[in-house]
A and B are shown apart, each in its own frame.
Chain A
Amino acid sequence: MSVTGSPQELATRVLERAVAASPAAEIEVSVDHSRPALTRFANSVIHQNVAEEYVQVGIRVHVDGRTASASSTIVSDDGIDALVARVLAAVALAPVDPGWPGLTPPTPLGAVAPLDPATRDASPDDRASIVADFVAAAGGLETAGYCRTNHRREAFANSAGHVVASECADVALAGIARRAGQSGVADGVARMLSLRIADLDGAVLGARAAAKANAGVDPVELPPDRYEVVLEPTAVADVLEALAAFGFNAKAVAERRSFVRVGEEQFDRAITLVDDAPAAGVAFDADGTPTQRVALVDAGRTVGLTHDRRTAAAAGGDAVSTGNSIGSASFGALARHLVLSGSAPDDPPAGEVDGPVVDASAAELVAGVERGILVTDFWYTRVLDPRTLAITGLTRNGVWLIEHGEVTRPLRDFRFTQAYAQALMPGAVLGVGRTTTSLPGDTYSADMPWWTAPALHLAAWNFTGGASG
């Protein structure tokens, strides 16, 4: 078995064998050839350092009104034949699939962000250097986190003659600095994702994390209540993730599991939201549909949903796929590159500031708060009810009291129970940061999300418990 050869060649080879085995079938083949690598550090040393070469072939077959899919990492001729045989055996026994939307017709890809060769070719030493800079810039504080790179080559081919291929690469760092105080350890975080490794400055991020940790020692506990808040981009990313999964998914809307209603003024006028996969270098989705910039909220009005071919066919009318398929009929269509617009999107990136606030953009919002709470990060957020987007979770990596426009003292972490949609409703958003930050949604996977967010100044957030219960 060999993993050499282009993904497009492999996809075409698999498609040819499948068509030969079942000429009447509608068949689509996807190939994911990724080289992810992640250098992980804790206690200020690299303790886990991994890389892999990963090739997976996926095949979906529709014949006689029935649909089945299968995947394999075994790409020898024997392995491919076994994969084809398995999916054809499965489709013969599958039930009738009335929702099959048909294959994607031949469609040209749109423009996407260019591949950065330096990111594509990043080495273990490159990642170690970024980690070393982060650790050094933390000024002796204990640090932990990761630096990862991913180079992904994809191809898609179907029996309707649609054949596309693309490649992309990105780099991300997420790290904390930890400072011990009399009442425990204070953590500060910094995260960033970019398509260009040259943009990722470990020293800047290490200093940012350390500034938060240094400002977070010996926090006081504030009673649970509804407080005005400034959420930094790292916390706003969690809100975006929930909106993507439970809000704008057309299947969730069709099943009335989502609060989203197209055409209604559901958000504050300060909120404009798009899903922008092309900006992440992602050219097509799991159906082979070219990605596009999908408008979801325009100045507070809900204007769109994320569709795949199946949800669009089910919706009927003028609904079309927006290029958001993740290949799951049961889940639906997912936004994985949400961008919440800043209030001055053409401004240059915000500069660093002294103290715990992440950057100058967030600092402007803090300056407008008479009394409220600055939240760096959310953690372990879980949906209590998808219909209201009621979510519970905790703050993490730095919380401070804001008084008269100034950060005055660190606070202990809170538990919150908050309906995210309610937090963004008309009149609830008091300010949006001028600029945005791109953040990794999680650690790498072949189809990881990323979120781009400004800081938000919100009228209220429902903190329901303190760290002590």
Chain B
Amino acid sequence: MSEFDAATAAVQAALDAGATYADARVMHRRYESMTARNGDVEDLTQDETSGIGVRALVGSGWGFFATPDLSDASVRAAGAQATAIARSSGRVSRAAAGMIPLGEAATGSWASECVIDPFTVSLADKGDMLVRATATMFEHGADIAEALYQIWDTAKWFVSSEGHRIDQRIREAGAGIMATSIGDGETQRRSYPAARGQYGTRGWELVQEIDIEAHAARVADESRALLTAPPCPAGETTLILGSEQMALQVHESVGHAIELDRILGWEAAYAGTSWLDLAQLGSLQYGSELMNITIDPTISGALGTFGYDDEGTPAAPRDAVRNGVWVGVLAGRDSAAVAGLDYAGSVRADGWARLPMVRMTNVGLEPGPHTFEEIIAATDDGIYMETNRSWSIDDKRLNFQFGTEVAYEVKNGQLGRLLRNPTYTGIGPQFWRSMDMLSSEIVPWGTPNCGKGQPGQIGHTGHPAAPARFRNVRVGLRA
């Protein structure tokens, strides 16, 4: 039984049981990760998972059932079970808005770009790379020297009762290093190229480009230096954020805020809602005119890239913020129908056993007119922070406090002293409206650990970002 046959049988069983709409995804995923610490490989994880998830609609109630058993009897039972669960949903329901139409049902096939299949690179070579990087960091004084890579190979077959028949193959890879130094009563960490590594829908060539070994000594040296650096001063100042921290800023204070399911209250009890009101879509000044943010799952190699989302909507770019004005949301077919919007395309599931839900794709900044050097040179008095260390934001995605691994004074247009324990806090729209300089040096940062939903799902998202400057930001909060 082929994967398409299994998905088709499951959809038919759901319809036979009374569903008015059904779709099914067969997914097969391989995952491998390795970590090394202080010159030794510490963990090697190799997971393989395969199964089918079926979604059914009965009246206004949705049901979802998943099983790893892809036999004909099992997938038909899964379809019927999804319909039965949908009927139970109808016990606490009201009239539903349905789903927006997709036009002609899509059939297609898509694969991400991959030059070097990461699963063909030998474990010995991968391990040697991590061991060398951590040994170098350890030799340079890091108390805990860590390195990791993660790779994924995901194949999906999607069928719906509207005629969809889509297969996709997405390969992802990434790596990073972390040096932790332990002082009297506190720890300091430096990472490269990002706090949890850099990731993309690419092959092993991305890991080669990152070249963790070339940065190991510097990262360890900086973690040691932080132990004796003066603390980040407290107060209001001009803040310059590095590219990777800007990606986190976009992710937390824009990406999640424009998720339509949050705006509609569907995540109210857990992930939270959003400060955004749909009545202001198209008119709200989210940030300064330098702020242009797109939702673009077509960026080659970025971590949130795909050919079709998990409802079968073809990938297409869309504006989220244009010249500082909020103009777009991340939507699915059902949430778009409730909101009265005519677009979807941002629904994905974390594996075959999870319900597709609204997720970020690639949500990021368009390039600004400046360079990082110009931003520093134009700043008389401020602080430059880079590489995320902690992040916390309220359930409306308004009030945030973020910490970075490192900061530097900026005095008279030049980087100055190293500062430890930097933090900054703000309110989303006030913060974004204070952005007065933005670099053109965009990097498509990948976030492989975006948590959302109940049951919990881990999403892979991309965030093109560049250094930027903000005015009158409160910094230096501590316990």
What residues of chain A have their CB less than 8 Å away from a CB belonging to chain B?
Answer: 1-3, 36, 38-56, 68-75, 82-83, 86-87, 89-90, 93-95, 98, 123-125, 127-129, 131-132, 135, 142, 144-146, 148, 174-176, 178, 187, 189, 255-257, 328-330, 379-388, 390-394, 396, 413, 415, 417-419, 422, 442-445, 462, 464-465, 467-469
Contacts of B395 in A (CB 8 A): 379-380, 394, 396
Bound-state Cα–Cα, A54 to B69, Å: 9
Asked if B392 and A392 sit within 8 Å, CB to CB, the answer is: yes
- Nearest residue (CB) in B for A150 is B455
Q: In the bound complex, do residue B269 and residue A1 qualify as a contact, i.e. CB atoms below 8 Å apart?
A: no
Assembled-state Cα–Cα distance A129/B81 (Å): 18
- Once the chains bind, are B45 and A69 in contact (CB under 8 Å)? yes
Which stretch from B8-16, B91-99, B299-307 is at the chain A interface?
A: B91-99
- Bound Cα distance A396, B41 (Å): 41
- Tell me the smallest distance from the CB of B84 to a CB of chain A, in Å: 7
CB of B179 within 8 A of chain A? no
Expressed in whole angstroms, the Cα–Cα distance for A131 and B423 within the complex equals 41
Q: Is B235 an interface position by the 8 A CB rule?
A: no
Q: Are A415 and B355 in contact (CB under 8 A)?
A: no
Are A51 and B64 within 8 A (Cβ)? yes
Whether B71 sits at the interface, judged by CB under 8 Å, is: yes
The answer to whether A176 and B269 touch across the interface, beta carbons within 8 angstroms, is yes
Complex Cα gap A72–B46 (Å): 8
A-B contact pairs, 29 of them (CB 8 A): A2-B74, A42-B266, A42-B268, A47-B89, A50-B455, A56-B49, A70-B45, A70-B46, A70-B47, A71-B47, A72-B47, A74-B48, A75-B68, A86-B48, A93-B123, A125-B88, A132-B91, A144-B268, A255-B182, A385-B421, A387-B182, A387-B187, A392-B392, A415-B399, A422-B479, A443-B456, A444-B455, A468-B427, A469-B426
B66 within 8 A of A: yes
Q: Which residues of A contact B88 (CB under 8 A)?
A: 39, 46, 49, 123-125, 127-128
Bound complex: CA A43 to CA B65 (Å): 23
Whole-angstrom distance between the alpha carbons of A257 and B187 in the complex? 7
Smallest beta-carbon distance B96→chain A, Å: 9
CB distance from A139 to the nearest CB of B (A): 16
Cβ-closest chain B residue relative to A58 = B47
Which of B46, B390, B393, B479 is A86 in contact with, Cβ under 8 Å? Answer: B46
Answer yes or no: B435 CB below 8 A from chain A CBs.
no
Q: Are A69 and B479 in contact (CB under 8 A)?
A: no
* Contact in complex: B44, A94 (CB < 8 Å): yes
A111 to B41, CA, bound (A): 37
Q: Report yes or no: A48 in contact with B64, Cβ–Cβ below 8 A.
A: yes
Given A42-B269, A70-B45, A330-B37, 7 additional A-B pairs, CB 8 A: A42-B265, A47-B62, A50-B354, A69-B45, A124-B84, A125-B88, A256-B143
Contact B265 A128 (CB under 8 A): no
Report the Cα distance A131→B122, complex, angstroms: 51
Cβ contacts under 8 Å, A49 to chain B: 61-64, 85-86, 88-89
Which A-B residue pairs are the 9 nearest by beta carbons? A124-B88, A144-B269, A443-B454, A70-B46, A52-B66, A390-B479, A46-B89, A50-B64, A144-B268
With a CB–CB cut-off of 8 A, which chain B residues contact A329? Answer: 42-43
Interface string of B12-53 (1 = CB under 8 A from A): 000000000000000000000001010011111111111101
Q: Is there a chain A Cβ closer than 8 Å to B185's Cβ?
A: yes
C-alpha spacing A172/B37, complex, angstroms: 38
Say yes or no for B110: interface residue by CB 8 A criterion.
no
**A93 with B454, Cβ < 8 A, contacts A73-B68, A464-B477 known:** no
Contact with A along B456-479 (1 / 0, CB 8 A): 100000000000000000100111
Closest residue of B by beta carbon distance from A57: B48
Q: Which residues of A contact B478 (CB under 8 A)?
A: 384, 390, 417
Q: Judge whether B454 and A146 touch: CB under 8 Å.
A: yes
Q: Is the CB of A43 within 8 A of B265?
A: yes
Q: Is the CB of B237 closer than 8 A to any CB of chain A?
A: no
Looking at B74, B182, B268, B426, the one whose CB has the most chain A CB atoms below 10 A away is: B268
Given A2-B71, A468-B427: A72 touches B91 (CB 8 Å cut-off): no
Interface residue B70 (Cβ < 8 Å from any Cβ of A): yes
Contact: A94 with B392, CB < 8 Å? no
Cβ contact within 8 Å between B185 and A95: no
> A150 to B272, alpha carbons, bound, how many Å?
24
Residues of B within 8 A of A69 (CB): 44-46
Q: From A49, which residue of chain B is reached at the shortest CB distance?
A: B89
Tell me whether A387 and B186 are in contact in the complex, defined as CB-CB below 8 angstroms, given that A51-B64, A74-B48, A95-B40 are known contacts: yes
The answer to whether B269 and A328 have CB atoms under 8 Å apart is no
Residues of A within 8 A of B269 (CB): 42, 144-146, 174-176, 189
- The tally of residues in B whose CB lies under 8 Å from a CB in A reads 89
Question: Which residues in window 266-281 of B have CB below 8 A to A?
Answer: 266-270, 272
B131 within 8 A of A: yes
Q: Are B46 and A387 in contact (CB under 8 A)?
A: no
Indicate whether B430 reaches chain A with its CB closer than 8 angstroms: yes
The listed residue (A90, A379, A380, A467) touching B123 by CB distance below 8 A is A90
Q: Which residues of B contact A396 (CB under 8 A)?
A: 394-395
Is the CB–CB distance between A46 and B91 below 8 Å?
Answer: yes
A52 to B25, CA, bound (A): 14
A70 nearest CB neighbor, chain B only = B46
In the complex the two chains form, is A413's CB within 8 Å of B394's CB? yes
Question: For the complex, is B200 an interface residue (Cβ under 8 Å from A)?
Answer: no
Q: Within the assembled complex, what's the spacing in Å between the Cα atoms of A258 and B51?
A: 40
A83 to B30, CA, bound (A): 12
Which of B74, B127, B353, B399 has the most C-beta atoms of chain A within 10 angstroms of its own C-beta?
B399
In whole angstroms, how far apart are the Cα atoms of A42 and B454 in the complex? 12
Indicate if the CB atoms of B182 and A256 lie closer than 8 Å. Answer: yes
Nearest-neighbor residue (CB-CB) of A467 within chain B: B399
Q: Which residues of B contact A418 (CB under 8 A)?
A: 479
Taken together as a complex, chains A and B put the C-alpha atoms of A462 and B283 apart, in Å, by: 38
Specify which of B69, B90, B426 lies most central, judged by the most chain A CB atoms within 10 Å of its CB.
B69
Chain A residues with Cβ under 8 A from B479's Cβ?
A: 384, 388, 390-391, 417-419, 422, 462
The reply to whether A388 and B186 form a contact with Cβ atoms under 8 Å apart is: yes
With A87-B46, A469-B425 as known contacts, state yes or no: A48 contacts B355, CB within 8 Å. yes
A-facing mask of B368-394, CB < 8 A → 1, else 0? 000000000000000000000111111
Q: Among A1, A386, A417, A465, which residue has its beta carbon within 8 angstroms of that of B71?
A: A1
- B298: Cβ under 8 A from any A Cβ: no
Expressed in whole angstroms, the Cα–Cα distance for A328 and B45 within the complex equals 9
**Cβ of B92 and Cβ of A46 under 8 Å apart?**
yes
A53 near B143: Cβ-Cβ < 8 Å: no
Tell me, in angstroms, the Cα distance from A40 to B457 when the chains sit together.
14
Contact of B427 among A178, A383, A443, A469 (CB under 8 A): A469
- Which chain B residue shows the least CB distance to A464? B477
- A125-B91, A394-B399 known; A328 vs B392 contact (CB < 8 Å): no
Distance in Å: Cβ of B467 to nearest Cβ of chain A: 23
Give the distance in Å from the alpha carbon of A419 to the alpha carbon of B185 in the complex. Answer: 12
Asked if A392 meets B390 with Cβ closer than 8 Å, knowing A46-B89, A70-B47, the reply is yes
Q: How far is the CA of A90 from the CA of B186 in the complex (A)?
A: 37
A422–B94 Cα distance when bound, in Å, is 49
Residue of A nearest to B49 (CB): A73
Contact status A90-B67, CB under 8 Å: no
8 Å CB contact of A3 from B63, B69, B265: B69
Q: Are A93 and B84 in contact (CB under 8 A)?
A: no
Which single residue of chain A is at the shortest CB-CB distance from B456? A443
- Is the C-beta of B197 less than 8 angstroms from some C-beta in chain A? no
CA distance A244 to B478 in the complex (A): 22
Report the nearest A residue to B252, measured CB to CB: A380
Min distance, Cβ B200 to any Cβ of chain A, angstroms: 23
Report the minimal beta-carbon distance from A307 to chain B, rounded to whole angstroms: 17
Nearest-neighbour CB distance to chain B for A241, whole angstroms, equals 14
